[in-house]
A and B are shown apart, each in its own frame.
Chain A
């Protein structure tokens, strides 16, 4: 088994695994989708009733703690904001205290205070204590407030996996495909000239038999190959091209490394539970 990284960005990865079958490939895919832990807001406490504040003009103003959206919707939107994750943090179930209590090992608390008229953004969410837990994306709109409205929120973020809820989903667009080769016989065609000109050079191989092209790296002209006669298509069902992107809470590399570690952990659990 050989793993080659073909493209690596902070939040995107494309890699090839050679020498596995589809059951293992699918195991890795499913682990990437639903078994990566991350931090997300779970409990939200809203301040209710009116709020008095002395504004910049020196007068006292009264705000209502209401907004155009229901509190449940605001809580849900807060939950979906990606937060930077430290994989060393514990799940609350694994902590020794009761589930309704919090400790710094399993919980990060946030506050949000905003007076209208204004738009509440994810950047207004301020972590209590360690400022490195501030949301990565600052520009996610949460809700808009008019002149009489204000929002006072305390929120608690805990670790979880996407098995429990979509708020803990790290990856999106996790997919794999077979490595595929197109063998084009030696013929003159505009399509082939275009392919040679526009496609990435490392997917084309010229030999005596003709032109050998793979679709490991997407190229917009590859679809036109199906229109040429005599093109031989060969799928290799032991070479898998994976790709996925993350929401920023973990980097793509961290996510892949954790997924492999997690797979190993779960498989060894099965092995250890077998008694003869």
Chain B
């Protein structure tokens, strides 16, 4: 639906990191016209300071569905 505020396992605030991650992935898609590679994704996480894999899976596996639900009031 919408990105959880904190990581389910460790409690780190990941919602702001998700926004930055999404923008960075979008930037690579637009400038390079391709999907980001594994190494690029791991570099984005390192730069954001998302170190543990519990926080990384929160961001990697998230699908934002709220825009599809918002029409049905």
B52-71 interface bits toward A, Cβ cutoff 8 Å, 1 = contact, 0 = none: 10000000000000110111
Contact of A140 among B5, B10, B12, B49 (CB under 8 A): B5
- B1-32 contacts to A (CB < 8 Å): 1-3, 5-7, 10-13, 15-16, 19
In the complex, what residues of A have CB within 8 A of residue B70's CB? 68, 144-146
Q: Chain B residues with Cβ under 8 A from A64's Cβ?
A: 73
Closest B residue, CB atoms, query A66: B73
Q: Could you tell me which A residues sit within 8 Å of B by CB distance?
A: 12, 64, 66, 68-69, 77, 80-82, 137, 139-141, 143-146, 148-149, 166, 169, 171-173, 245, 247-248
* Set of chain A residues within 8 Å of B67, measured between Cβ atoms: 144
B49: chain A residues at CB < 8 Å are: 12
Instruction: Note all chain B residues with C-beta closer than 8 A to A143.
Output: 2, 66
Task: List, in ascending order, chain A residues with CB within 8 A of B51's CB.
Answer: 173
Chain B: interface residue count, which band? 20 to 34
Interface pairs (24), CB distance under 8 Å:
A12-B49, A64-B73, A68-B69, A69-B1, A69-B2, A69-B66, A81-B5, A82-B13, A137-B16, A139-B15, A139-B19, A141-B3, A143-B2, A144-B66, A144-B70, A145-B70, A146-B70, A146-B71, A169-B6, A169-B11, A171-B11, A172-B10, A247-B11, A247-B12
Q: Is the CB–CB distance between B3 and A172 below 8 Å?
A: no
- Cross-chain contact B3 with A247 (CB below 8 angstroms): no
Instruction: Indicate if the CB atoms of B2 and A141 lie closer than 8 Å.
Output: yes
Chain B contacts to A: CB under 8 angstroms: 1-3, 5-7, 10-13, 15-16, 19, 49, 51-52, 66-67, 69-71, 73
CB-defined contacts of A77 to chain B, threshold 8 Å:
5
Point out the residues of chain A lying under 8 angstroms from B12, CB to CB. 172-173, 245, 247
Provide the residues of chain B in CB contact with A137, threshold 8 Å.
13, 15-16
Contacts of B5 in A (CB 8 A): 77, 80-81, 140
Told that A69-B1, A173-B51 touch, could you supply 11 new A-B pairs with CB distance under 8 A? Answer: A64-B73, A66-B73, A77-B5, A80-B13, A137-B16, A139-B16, A140-B5, A140-B16, A143-B66, A172-B11, A173-B10
A183 to B13, CA, bound (A): 39
Cα distance A245–B73 when bound, in Å? 40
Q: Chain A residues near B3 (CB, 8 Å)?
A: 141
A84 to chain B, nearest CB (A): 14
Point out the residues of chain B lying under 8 angstroms from A80, CB to CB.
Answer: 5-6, 13
Contact status B73-A173, CB under 8 Å: no
- A78 to chain B: closest residue by CB: B5
Question: Using Cβ atoms and an 8 Å threshold, which residues of chain A touch B71?
Answer: 146
* A81 to B6 Cα, complex, angstroms: 9
**Residues in B neighbouring A140, C-beta threshold 8 A:** 5, 13, 15-16
Question: What are the residues of chain B within 8 A of A148 when measuring CB–CB?
Answer: 73
- A245 CA to B50 CA in the complex, in Å? 11
